[in-house]
Structure 1
Amino acid sequence: MKPLGSITRGTTNPNRLRRVDNWIAVHLGGLLGGAEDPLVVDLGYGASPVTAVELRSRLSRVRRDVRVVGLEIDPERVAAAAPAADPPALEFRRGGFELAGLRPVVVRAMNVLRQYDESEVKQAWSTIAQRLAPDGVLVEGTCDELGRLASWVTLDAAGPRTLTLAASLSTLDSPATLAERLPKALIHRNVSGEPIHGLLRALDEAWRANAAYSAFGPRQRWRNSVEAVRAAGWPVLDRPARWRLGELTVPWSAVAPRLSSPYS
């Protein structure tokens, strides 16, 4: 089957996806632990296999026999990644949204849809979700070059489930900068009248209102900011232990686009 999709720019860096990997290990660890075949796909790993290698290492702490397959459309990238392979634990193959015929329990697709039009996102989500193992999950999003700002959506066969915003608190100037790294489905929706705009504004206002907590460190400031966002009525998920890491997760229904898109 011909790979579905377009070749990405391929930019990557070591530890760029550390935040999403650790989130997957915690939130999808139970899914991996109970899977008959603990197969994970790193879709569009880029010009270097480093993030796939790191994903396998991090998830092996959850389940030692986890298998990671890195998929790339560009055959030259697949060939370049071959020396890093360690079958069956880590392999690299040519493939795209069709997942090369695999049925993974988890797919990580970071910085893949960023180059697509918003109108193409729904079809890409659907194509991948249809090829997941039963109860499988797609984690799709974007991050900056160093992984200091990131966001991702989780989806299954029924559709989007959650949105997570994540930041390196030691370098965070303002939560408003997270708008630059929203998933493709939301990055053009940071406008008045859209829920994601309201969430980012509430978080930014809370961050400024809790500036005094900076004396106790950025984690305390972020935690109090997230608590303020929740008190304002946003359905924030998870516990304070996750908030302190610079995360905020909400149900997709809280941020799903409402207005007609100029890209549809």
Structure 2
Amino acid sequence: MSSPLSSITKPLQLPLSSATLAAINGYLSELQPDEILQWAIEYLPDLYQTTAFGLTGLVAIDMLSKITTSPPPLIFLDTLYHFKETYALVDEVRERYNQPIHVFKPEGCETMQDFEAKYGERLWEVDENTYDFAVKVEPARRAYDQLGVKAVITGRRASQGGDRASLKPLEVDSTGLMKLNPLYAWPFAMVEWYITDNKVPKNKLLDQGYRSVGDWHSTTKVAPGQDERAGRWAGQEKTECGLHRDYFVMEAAAKARELSIPAAIATSA
């Protein structure tokens, strides 16, 4: 597939100007998800897929298996609080697609008991910013540093609402990481159709009343007609786990807790 953006080199070189990023997004917005993924393989350097094995991520994994014999490696952030069904799905995907999965856990922790010995019990209730940083943000940055990641494929979609409502196909975050959202324009019904039509493995909890699966302590079943992410952090204004929030703000909040100073002071500097 040839891109009309003839001035853009392969692979892309950072930093991208706002004009270049806008031109790329204008081009990608006219493509189907599999075409966006094909473009990414050609243009994005050191490309990986970060996934918690949600439905959208699984669609991307399956599409990539049909596009190339060498799909981008997978990164799984093991918070240590996933459902047993999620861990079973990781093994099923590994076997089905014969694809390497790099697993990263909270620093210095192999088990939930290790994590609670370090941070205390129910940290997600005591300090959710520090929890998000410890189980998602820091392990992700460690993964990207160790593996030399410059671009990641995500499973985010605009129809999921919240912070995702204004998604573009390609973004560059505050650390310079390129984030590709190949299914950003698909509604949930299209994702479900693809999973069913292509017999893609999925989390068994999705047949038990769940629609979006995260940690067991912050995931609930949803009622018919509810938004697909209504079961994530139910009753809270929160819509993101921290992985796609500003890294430097999250880091400052976590350090503030370690230093026992108000997070507001650290993040307002």
Give the TM-score of the pair, scaled to structure 2. 0.33
Structure whose residues are more often strand by fraction: 1
Structure whose residues are more often helix by fraction: 2
Q: Which has the higher contact order (CA 8 A, sep 6+)?
A: 2
